Structure 1
């Protein structure tokens, strides 16, 4: 009798292993069909460093600082994890850097990367694949908190006095003068060079007073790919000077982002009593950097 029961159980298990299985349904239409709700592990994380485990599934971050979530190391056999899905929601006011473990990568497009930032209010899903060279984890789905494909950065910089004014400030290179730097800490811009060009007024032509300025950002270099500077000149003093500003170049040089602009005084050219169009005041340059993400 025991032998018969064992054979019957073995045949029944074999049937389950080779057939479609249904839960609360007698007609399963998939390998596993569930006619009802499905529950998986949920965890809320508040620490800024978290190693995602083999039993995690849905993670919510509500910490108070920028966080780093690290995906499990991919191995072979029982640690290959092919098809495993992680869902991550960021409800904090900081960002989550989702990174692959050493030797593993994330596949966003055809170029594998080591990490991906999930911004405030965003959601991401990753799934493990069997590709060990082109990207171990697929970033299969992302939802941004708002429909935007642009990053924006803004600051107000200083326009120094002209080298040919009635109270001149000599030009410089290699950040020889620090008086006109703006910002603090790593969010600081240095005026590393200033080159002045005096006005010219003849019977045949007139050239406005102008200056070429190069500003250097002291923080982490910007990703200048698809970045578009918008610049305007401002006047917050009692002087009547009117300026226009033109973009010259934006590039990462020597590990720093450098912006070069040309500024010109356009309200008049020459001398009018004590008023010299080679300006003597310090004025403003409004800078807006906009980068298209995709």
Structure 2
């Protein structure tokens, strides 16, 4: 007598009535509930032209040139792909043009497009929808590259009065004057020295009043490799004086970071004997410093 393997009708009936499947759980709370990790296909692409397949899921591009990734052609039945998700990460120094196949489109907003560029360091996710006219692939999620590859530090320093002004402040070296330092503790900047050059106004030429300033940071020295100072001179008083600041040097000296700057007054040169206005300035002004260092 032959023995037949069979599944009780009541069990089958219960399976179809309760269309929820659990993996490592006896109480699935969704159509498919997985009590554990989930793996999907991963592939790293270096070719500059790649046709995304039906079995792909997560793609990483690390090629050496601009690439073009083409999404599968959308069909019907088993090739309708509704709900299929592709994840694409660009770790190269070039761009990826993600394009739909002929006759298909990408839907970023209400206007379908044929392609989308994934820039360096960015990530994109697309999902197929059942819309065959308004965009067959939804660009459902994008992450742009890291906002910056630059480390930035900013501070506002003081520009002391000129040594040749009507109310002069004598030049100094070796931080013998402390009244123009800024900040506190390890975030303090000292004015180590200032050297003033007076104006020269003749029939042949005019030299603006200027000053060489050396500032020293009292905290841990900056890594000055690939560091670029950006300087702007500011006027924080009622005087009409206009200044320009030029970078001279940035270096670590005896465990401290030193910045040397040349500041010049550019709105007026000379001495107006009628008004008593001397272009060797007497006020205390501002120097805005931005240190930007390229990280990679």
Give the TM-score, by structure 1 length: 0.51
Q: Which residue of 2 aligns with 1:196?
A: 196
SS at match of 1:183: coil
Structure showing greater Rg: 2
Give the superposition deviation at 1:158.
Answer: 0.2
Q: Stretches of 4+ moved more than 4 A in 1?
A: none
Distance in 1 separating the partners of 2:147 and 2:276: 54
Of the candidates 274, 279, 282, which is equivalent to residue 280 of structure 1?
A: 282
Unaligned runs of 5+ in 1: 1-23, 25-34, 40-143
Matched, 1:215 2:215: yes
Matched, 1:262 2:262: yes
Give the superposition deviation at 1:36.
Answer: 8.7
Give the superposition deviation at 1:146.
Answer: 3.8
How many pairs align?
A: 158
Distance in 1 separating the partners of 2:257 and 2:201: 36
Give the superposition deviation at 1:37.
Answer: 3.7
Give the superposition deviation at 1:38.
Answer: 4.4
Q: Which residue of 2 aligns with 1:161?
A: 161
User: Superposition pairs for residues 130-141 of structure 1, below 5 Å?
Assistant: none
SS at match of 1:286: strand
RMSD of Structure 2 on Structure 1 (CA): 2.2
Deviation digits for residues 94-153 of structure 1 (CA, Å, limit 9, x no counterpart): xxxxxxxxxxxxxxxxxxxxxxxxxxxxxxxxxxxxxxxxxxxxxxxxxx9943211100
Of the candidates 287, 290, 293, which is equivalent to residue 292 of structure 2?
A: 290
Unaligned runs of 5+ in 2: 1-22, 24-33, 39-143
Distance in 2 separating the partners of 1:159 and 1:37: 63
Distance in 2 separating the partners of 1:145 and 1:188: 34
Deviation digits for residues 159-189 of structure 1 (CA, Å, limit 9, x no counterpart): 0000000000000000000000001111000
Distance in 2 separating the partners of 1:38 and 1:224: 45
Distance in 2 separating the partners of 1:147 and 1:159: 33
Distance in 1 separating the partners of 2:251 and 2:145: 30
